[in-house]
Chain A
Amino acid sequence: MSGLAHYLEDEGLATVIVALVREHIVKMRPPRALWVPFELGRPFGTPGDGGLQRRVLQASLALLDKTLTAPHLEEFNEEAPIHDDSNWHFPGSLDNSGVLAEAASVMPIWRLARERIGRSTVGISGLPPQSAVEFIARFHDSEPMPNPQGMAPVSRARFAVDDIKAFYLEAAMAEGGQPSARQLHEWFWSGTLAGELLREFQQRARVSADKNLQLIAGSLVPAERTDWFLHGLKSPEQ
Chain B
Amino acid sequence: MLKPLLLPAITPPRWVWVIDVVRLADIPEPERTVIADLACPVYADTSPVTPVAAALRHVAIVSTAGLIVRGERPMLANEAGYRAIAATVDDGDILCSHVSTNFDRTGFQQDLDVVLPRDRLRELEEEGSIGKAADTHYAFMGATSPVKLEDKARELGRSMLALGVNTVVLAPV
Contacts and interface: CB of A to CB of B under 8 A. Distances in A.
Given A10-B46, A28-B146, A119-B90, A221 B109 contact: no
B86 interface: no
Given A1-B142, A218-B15, A124 B74 contact: yes
Interface string B12-28: 00111111111111000
A44 B171 CA distance: 9
B24 to A, nearest CB: 6
A187 to B, nearest CB: 11
Main secondary structure of the interface of B (DSSP, over half): loop
Contacts of A71: 45
A88 B5 CA distance: 51
What 10 A-B pairs have minimum CB-CB distances, sorted nearest first? A3-B146, A119-B92, A11-B157, A41-B103, A41-B104, A47-B111, A47-B110, A31-B48, A23-B36, A64-B51
B147 interface: yes
Interface string B92-118: 101111011111111111111111010
Interface stretch (A52-60, A90-98, A100-108, A133-141): A52-60
Interface in A27-83: 27-32, 37-48, 50, 53-54, 56-58, 60-61, 64-65, 68, 70-71, 82
B87 interface: no
B9 interface: no
B56 to A, nearest CB: 11
A151 to B, nearest CB: 8
Contacts of A21: 24, 35-36, 172
A60 B169 contact: yes
B136 interface: no
Contacts of B90: 119
Interface residues of A, number: 91
Given A4-B153, A173-B109, 5 more contacts: A1-B171, A16-B170, A20-B172, A39-B103, A182-B22
B153 A8 contact: yes
B146 A4 contact: yes
Which of A13, A37, A165 is packed against the most chain B CB atoms within 10 Å? A13
Contacts of B100: 219
Which of A14, A65, A181 is packed against the most chain B CB atoms within 10 Å? A14
